[in-house]
Amino acid sequence: MVTQIVYSNEFNKHNNKGHPENAERLNVMNDEIKKSHLYNDLEFIKPEILSEKSLYEVHSDRMIEQIKEISSTGDSWIDLDTYVCKHDYEIARLAAGGLLTACKNILSKKADNAFALVRPPGHHASKNRSMGFCLFNNAAIAANEITKLGKKVLIFDFDVHHGNGTQDIFYDRNDVMYQSLHLSPHYPGTGSAEEIGTDKGAGYTINTPLYYGNGDKAVTKLLDNIFLPVAKQFKPDIVIMSCGYDSHHEDPLGGLRLTCNFYSKIIKKFQEVQQKIACTLEGGYNLNWIGKCLVSQLGQMAGKIVEFDDKTIEQENVKEVINELKNELQMYWNV
């Protein structure tokens, strides 16, 4: 089993120490990997920078030019949440290219699976707007490139925030399926169960808005009743996982109650659908836990389970959500 980690120190150039999405996130995650018994079993590789052509196929000219202009002069802000540092046009392309590198290596059998340990994150970046700590949409760009090979892509997003940008980009397409679990109501306010796609993409967007306090048991029910049955019918050629560890119960920006060890179980369940899995980093801001959440996932990916002492109390009230989703999706999938 070959599990690759795509990483570069260049990602730490995107940094604002007073912002929750800062360079220290990757530092603590790398430290946790080095402490684990997995370290010598992982293959670390460098990312390849994304071509401008691939970038312009997903995002608007105006959006890209804004990032390019700001990053050429120095630090600034796009909105109240999203900062841009000098050279971020190159750093953000390197992050997107890092996930694409991971996907290509999996599809060419250079790796069985991979984790793109990249930043800035991406899932809030829509066709026309950088927002929510995100500049370009790493998962969407990689998925779009893979579809050019005639392959189908499933993007599964377990960040506590809905990936409005990823949904926006593929909302009318049926070669990429977007599945998301997320807290609702919560930023950015999108991701209701009725949002299932449009035109030929109808049925290919699946949102499960969760209540405050939902955790492992609630998400397991959603996986077993909605996400996995539909994924098996879709038959993706590769799974891209948007990994937001702000769904962990100790995250300061969260509200869900997932435990550290549950992230490995998510990987295990999707391995029953497709072994080819490429993960990319999204949110997660508790520096004491994000590294452990990552290592939990890597343990399952590398075939060497790692568990941590982590328990919490959760709410399991998802029956209403499951019934609503079955009603919305029954025209498209056997659920």
**CA 5, CA 226: separation in Å to the nearest integer?**
30
DSSP states along 253-314: T---BB-TTHHHHHHHHHHTT-S-EEEEE-----TTTHHHHHHHHHHHHHT-----------
Closest CA to 248 of 322, 310, 319: 310
Q: Supply 291's token pair.
A: 């590294």
Within a 13 Å sphere around the CA of 319, how many CA atoms are in the beta-carbon half? 1
The answer to whether 260 and 306 have CB atoms below 8 angstroms apart is no
CA dist list (Å): 181 to 33, 83, 222: 26, 26, 9
**CA 285, CA 33: separation in Å to the nearest integer?**
17
Return the active site residues: 124
Amino acid making up residue 96 = A
238-243 and 153-157 strand pairing: parallel
Task: Identify each DSSP E strand in 62-175 by its residue range.
Answer: 76-77, 83-84, 113-116, 153-157
Closest CA to 111 of 6, 31, 7, 8: 6
Buried b (16+ CB within 10 A) or exposed e, 184-222: bebbbebbebebbbeeebebbbbbbbbbebbbbebbbbb
Q: Supply 59's token pair.
A: 């995002």
